[in-house]
Amino acid sequence: MKKLYIIGNGFDIYHGMKTTYADFHQYLSQYNVDLEIKLENYFNFKTDPNYLWTDFENDLSSFDYRSLFNDSNNIDVLSDSFKLSECYGLEDDINEQTEELIQNIKDDFHSWIEGIEYPLSGNTNTIYFDPDAIFLNFNYTDTLEELYNIPKNNILYIHNNANDLSGELIFGHSQNAESDPEMDEFDAEGNSNRTMFTDSENASRTPFYAFQKNTTEIIDQHRQFFESLGSITQILVLGHSLGKVDWPYFIAVAKNIPQANWLISYHSEFERESKRQFANEMFSLKKVNIEMIQIGDLRL
C-alpha cells in the first residue's frame, strides 16, 4: 500500500513546537516591536483572549491602504507653494515604505521559523510513518527530517523550507480582490476617474497583492509531483486545518488519486464531523473513502 502523508501545522504543534500565529506575534513583540506596531496599525488581525493573532496569513488580506496613504500624505494642495512634483515624491515615498514593510514581514517570518526549537528525539509523541511513503508538507520546518529521519527527497515542501536557500517562504491569503478595490479608470460617461493622488493610492495597495498566495502557479510548478501520485492508495492528512487558501492543493491530489482512501486527523469531536463533511463536499471525496483519526492514534 503506497502512502502519501499531507502534513500541516497541527503536526508541529502536536510535537510541542511553538508554531502558531500567536507564537509569531509574541516573537515580534520581543524582537521587532516597530514591525508589530505597523502590522497592528495597517492590518485587522483576529485575536485570541490574550490579544494574540489567530489567523495571521488570511488576515494579510485586510491591509488598510487608506491608512498608510493618509499617514504618508502631508501635501497641502491649497498651499501657494504647492507643486505637482510633490505628488510624484509622495508616490516614491509610499513605494519605498510598502517595499520595506513587505520585506520586513517576510524577513521576520523567516527568522521566527528558523528559530523554532525542535523537541528531543525519542519523544513519547513520536508516531509511525511508512518508510516507503512520500510527503506533501505545508510546514516550513524540518520536523520530518529532524525527528523522523525522513529523506529530503521524499518530501515536497510545497511552500518551501526555512533551511533551504532555493526560494523564499510562501505565505499569505487567498482573496482575489480587495474589500475596497481600485476605481475603474473611466466612469460610465467615459470621463477619467484619475486624480493627482491616484498613483500614490495604488502604490499603497501593494502589500495586499504581495501576500496573495498564487496556488495555481505553485501547483503548476510542481505538476510533475501531483501527476506522479497514481500509485498512491492511502492518504493521511495530519494536522492540516483544510483552510480555504489550500483547497486547490487538496483538489489537485484528489483529482489525481480518485480512488484513494483518506485518513484525516481532527482535534475535537465537532471538528471531526465538520471536516469529514467538508472533505466529502469540497474535495469530492466519497464518504466511504474518508476515515477520521487523531494524530495520537498513529503513535509508536
- pLDDT tens digit string along 216-253? 999 999 999 999 999 999 999 999 999 989 999 999 99
At 190 the pLDDT is 67
Q: How far is the C-alpha of 80 from the C-alpha of 158, rounded, in Å? A: 56
Q: For a pLDDT cut of 70, what percent of the chain falls above it?
A: 96
At 130 the pLDDT is 94
Q: How far is the C-alpha of 281 from the C-alpha of 286, rounded, in Å? A: 9
Helical axes 85-114 vs 21-31, angle rounded to 10°: 110
Q: How far is the C-alpha of 9 from the C-alpha of 139, rounded, in Å? A: 6
- Who wins on pLDDT, 257 or 79? 257
At 155 the pLDDT is 97
Length of the chain: 300
Q: Residues 253, 22, 206, 33: is their CA dihedral positive or negative?
A: negative
At 164 the pLDDT is 87
Rg (CA), the chain: 23
Confidence bin at 32 (pLDDT 50/70/90):
very high
- Who wins on pLDDT, 148 or 269? 148
At 124 the pLDDT is 63
Confidence bin at 187 (pLDDT 50/70/90):
low
Cβ pair 230, 123 in contact under 8 A = no
Which domains are present in the chain? 2-17+119-170+214-298 (3.40.50), 21-116+172-210 (no CATH)
Grid coordinates in use for 10? 497541527
pLDDT tens digits, 115-172:
999 987 666 678 999 999 999 999 999 999 999 999 999 999 999 999 987 789 999 9
